[in-house]
Amino acid sequence: QSVLTQPPSASGTPGQRVSISCSGSSSNIGSNFVYWYQQLPGTAPKVLIYRNNQRPSGVPDRFSGSKSGTSASLAISGLRSEDEADYYCAAWDDSLRGVVFGGGTKLTVL
Amino acid sequence: EVQLVESGGGLVKPGGSLRLSCAVSGFTFSLYHMNWVRQAPGKGLEWVSSISSNNDYIYYTDSVKGRFTISRDNAKNSLYLQMNSLRAEDTAVYYCARALEPHNWFDPWGRGTLVTVSS
């Protein structure tokens, strides 16, 4: 059972907009930044969003992050087949004194 | 080019020990916090441990406290994870990752090294 809660799966057709939620608590998302990681099949994870809603250079602006209270979400617009991957949210947890990840959401592009 | 290369994984019996290494290049290692993150087969990511740039702060996930020890050698541009009293549930790919902020923003990640704990 992960500290951060994500839906196990999401799907969409090419060109659609999909959103992935991440729910936490006051000790993690509620008081710290949220980060999103993308893991393509058979590869190491890569950062997609840092500090709730910032994109590293090289990440397309189709990817956006937001946070409100103890929840966060990742939105992907103009869905493409290469976006098919696992997506993880993460945050520091003040009570656990460690980084907590969501269980991951497998995105399928239909 | 920034690179992180893990090594030291393999098959070990329950109760055994293993030492993982992560050799880095392409950046000033001594300036960054470093982390180990693992992924059990077919499962999600689990943060394992972090160490600050100058060893001031070290953190572990509860399930490895007392069994795993993170360390670094800034002169050798290397990160380590000493794993003792290994259990079947420690079976995973272990990634090392640079932290661009003290407690997150892992970028980049290494390709990982597989640790299998089995009799």
- Tokens for B49, please give them: 């441990």
**Residues of chain A with a CB closer than 8 angstroms to some CB in chain B:** 2, 32-33, 35, 37, 39, 44-47, 50-51, 56, 86, 88, 90-92, 96-104
pLDDT-derived band at A1 (thresholds 50, 70, 90) equals: confident
Q: Report the candidate in B70, B30, B31 with the shortest Cα–Cα distance to residue B48.
A: B70
Looking up tokens 């180990």, which residue turns up? B36
**What are the tens digits of pLDDT across the range A8-42?**
999 999 999 999 999 999 999 999 999 999 999 99
pLDDT score recorded for residue B103: 80
Between A2, A44, A96, which is nearest B112 by CB? A44
Q: Please say if the pLDDT value at position B75 is more than 90.
A: yes
A44 and B110 within 8 Å at the Cβ level: the answer is yes
C-alpha separations of B49 from A12, A84, B57, B71 in Å: 35, 29, 11, 10
- Is the CB of A99 less than 8 angstroms away from the CB of B104? yes
Please report, to the nearest 10 degrees, the dihedral formed by the alpha carbons of residues A37, A31, B72, B95 taken in order. Answer: -20
Q: Is the peptide bond before B108 cis (omega within 30 degrees of 0)?
A: yes
Is the confidence at residue B36, as pLDDT, over 90? Answer: yes
Q: Find all residues with CB under 8 Å of A37, minimum gap 6, and list them.
A: A45, A46, A47, A48, A87, A88, A89, A90, B45, B106
Coil vs helix vs strand at A57: coil
Local confidence band at A45 (pLDDT 50, 70, 90 cut-offs)? very high
Whole-angstrom Cα distance, residue A37 to residue A49?
7
Whether the predicted pLDDT of B102 surpasses 90: no
pLDDT at residue B95 in the model: 98
Q: What pLDDT does residue B74 have?
A: 96
Q: How many residue contacts between A and B have a Cβ separation below 8 Å?
A: 68
